[in-house]
Structure 1
Amino acid sequence: MVEPAEAQGGPGDAADGLLDAAERLFYEKGVQAVGMDEIRAASGIPLKRLYRLYPSKSALLQAYLERRDARWRAELAAYANSRSTPEARILAVFDWLHQWFSEPDFRGCAFVNSFGELGAVDPVVTTLARTHKRAFRDYVAGLVVATGRPAVCADAYALLAEGAITTAAVSGSPEPALRAKEAAVLLLAAT
Structure 2
Amino acid sequence: MDQTKLSARERILRTAHVLFYREGIRSTGVDRIIAEAGVTKVTFYRHYPSKNDLIVAFLDYRHRIWMPWFQDALQRHGNNLLAIAPVLQEWFADPSFRGCAFINALGEMGGSMPEVVHRVNQHKAELRKVIEGLLPENCDREDWASAVAMAIDGAVVRAEWGEPTEALHGFNQLIEGVYCLKPQT
TM-score (norm 1): 0.85
- Show the 5 A alignment for 1:2-13: 5=3, 7-9=4-6, 11=7
- Show the 5 A alignment for 1:20-35: 20-35=14-29
Could you tell me how far apart the structure 2 residues matched to 1:145 and 1:42 are?
47
1:109 lines up with 2:100 in the alignment: yes
Contact 1:98 1:178 (C-alpha < 8 Å) held by counterparts: no
Partner of 1:91: 82
Contact 1:76 1:93 (C-alpha < 8 Å) held by counterparts: no
- Where do 5+ consecutive residues of structure 2 fail to align? none
Amino acid at match of 2:164: P
Q: Percent identity?
A: 30
1:44 lines up with 2:59 in the alignment: no
SS of the residue 1:31 aligns to = coil
Could you tell me how far apart the structure 2 residues matched to 1:110 and 1:188 are?
30
Could you tell me how far apart the structure 1 residues matched to 2:145 and 2:56 are?
28
Following superposition, the deviation at residue 83 of structure 1 comes to 4.8
Number of residue pairs aligned between Structure 1 and Structure 2:
180
Amino acid at match of 1:173: E
1:77 lines up with 2:71 in the alignment: yes
Segments ≥4 residues shifted beyond 2 Å: 81-84
Could you tell me how far apart the structure 2 residues matched to 1:182 and 1:160 are?
10
| Structure 1 residues 98-124: Cα deviation after superposition (integer angstroms, max 9, x where no partner) | 111112222111111111111221110
Amino acid at match of 1:174: P
1:168 lines up with 2:159 in the alignment: yes
Contact 1:65 1:111 (C-alpha < 8 Å) held by counterparts: yes
SS of the residue 1:120 aligns to = helix
Could you tell me how far apart the structure 2 residues matched to 1:178 and 1:73 are?
23
Partner of 2:150: 159
Contact 1:95 1:178 (C-alpha < 8 Å) held by counterparts: no
Partner of 2:139: 149
Partner of 2:112: 121
Following superposition, the deviation at residue 31 of structure 1 comes to 0.9
Could you tell me how far apart the structure 2 residues matched to 1:100 and 1:113 are?
16
Could you tell me how far apart the structure 2 residues matched to 1:44 and 1:173 are?
37
Closer, same or farther: CA 169–83 of 1 in aligned 2, 3 Å: closer
- Where do 5+ consecutive residues of structure 1 fail to align? none
TM-score (norm 2): 0.88
